[in-house]
Amino acid sequence: MLQHPTSHPYVVSQARNTSWKNTLVEGRAASYAVAGAGAPVVFLHGYALTPRAYDRALLRMAAQGVRVFAPSLPGFGGTAELPPQERNLAGYARWLGEFLDSIGIAGPVTLVGHSFGGGVAIQSAHDLGPRVARLVLVNSVGGAAWSPGGGDVRPIGERPLWDWGAAATGDALAIRPSVAGLLAITADAVGNVLRNPLAMWRLSHLARNADLRGELDELAERGLPVTLLWGGDDTFIPRASFESLRIALRNPTVVTVAGNHGWLIDDPHGFGTAMGTVFGAEQTQPHTPAAVTL
């Protein structure tokens, strides 16, 4: 079993804004946001977005006494696309390791991933080993299960594109962010489609077919602390997929909140509270599974 480092103390602090920085990863451009001070937390954004859409959520998380690093994933937000042979989850995980090297983070990090970013986070935790001290999955892909109409559970690859589209539309319409948040989401999604439609298509294929149950099972075997944050009204990532994640992880800590797939954008304060619960639980009862409803 891996030996995890002693946890850092987390205290609520004031993080007033994010700053944007640029770096080179294997000679290619990459952009990332930074906020707060404290133990390093790396946040991976969801499909079609960049960290800018999560700005308020990142600040709320940083206010828990951590330093947040949020890279734009390859192909989005000013970060160069991966080489063709690397355009898979393993390639994204390897890129993340190189990104951490480029910004001088050698020690273990808490890795937080939302939606497609959760899939990248799972693969990264699996492939990067002791560089990841804790994993937090927020309405993540990777469970590979779908239950049409609440009936029999079927492989996620059988879910038709129209159903994905309908769920995404319904979920998006349910989000009620501020004007600034809405503008950030719109600018991210539209800008990414216009700049790199092929990358959008490739990522949608990866997200729709991601089956990471084997990687999750190995993470459970290693004893890596994993928390599932789940917006209980999510229709984009079906409940069956969430349950598949939970089963593969052998009863991890689960924090359930009110909200849909993009709840952390809609409710950054609630996201900050949920992450405070995650950090606090690791301080008081490390490696102890729990079920929390906020």
Q: Which residue has the higher pLDDT, 282 or 109?
A: 109
Rounded CA gap, 183 and 196, in Å?
19
> Lowest mean pLDDT: which of 226-235, 250-259, 279-288?
279-288
Is residue 1 included in any domain, yes or no? no
Strand bridging mode 66-71 / 109-114: unpaired
Rounded CA gap, 178 and 56, in Å?
10
Confidence at residue 78, expressed as pLDDT on a 0 to 100 scale: 87
Strand bridging mode 109-114 / 28-36: unpaired
Say what percent of the chain tops pLDDT 90: 56
pLDDT beyond 90 at 108: yes
Is residue 27 included in any domain, yes or no? yes
Q: pLDDT tens across 126-151, in order?
A: 999 999 999 999 999 998 775 666 65
Confidence at 47, pLDDT banded by 50, 70, 90: confident
For the residues 3-28, what does the mean pLDDT come to? Answer: 68
Q: Which CATH number do you get for residue 166?
A: 3.40.50.1820
Rounded CA gap, 117 and 92, in Å?
10
292 burial via Cβ count (<10 Å: 0-12, 13-18, 19+): middle
pLDDT beyond 80 at 273: yes
Confidence at residue 12, expressed as pLDDT on a 0 to 100 scale: 45
> Which residues have CB under 8 Å from 199's CB, separation 6+?
75, 76, 81, 192
Confidence at residue 9, expressed as pLDDT on a 0 to 100 scale: 40
Is residue 281 included in any domain, yes or no? yes
**Count of domains observed in the chain:** 1
Is residue 262 included in any domain, yes or no? yes
For the residues 174-192, what does the mean pLDDT come to? Answer: 56
Contact 159, 146 (CB under 8 A): yes
Q: Which domain holds residue 150?
A: 19-293
Is residue 67 included in any domain, yes or no? yes
Is residue 207 included in any domain, yes or no? yes
Q: What's the pTM?
A: 0.84
Rounded CA gap, 10 and 41, in Å?
12
Confidence at residue 184, expressed as pLDDT on a 0 to 100 scale: 57
Confidence at residue 48, expressed as pLDDT on a 0 to 100 scale: 80
Strand order in the sheet with 253-257: 19-25, 28-36, 66-71, 39-44, 109-114, 132-138, 226-231, 253-257, 291-293
Instruction: Quote the mean pLDDT of the chain.
Output: 82
Confidence at residue 114, expressed as pLDDT on a 0 to 100 scale: 97
Chain centre to alpha carbon of residue 189: 17
pLDDT beyond 50 at 58: yes
pLDDT beyond 70 at 99: yes
Is residue 163 included in any domain, yes or no? yes
Confidence at residue 167, expressed as pLDDT on a 0 to 100 scale: 45
Q: In Å, what is the CA distance from 114 to each residue of 72, 119, 240, 253?
A: 13, 8, 17, 16
Is residue 84 included in any domain, yes or no? yes
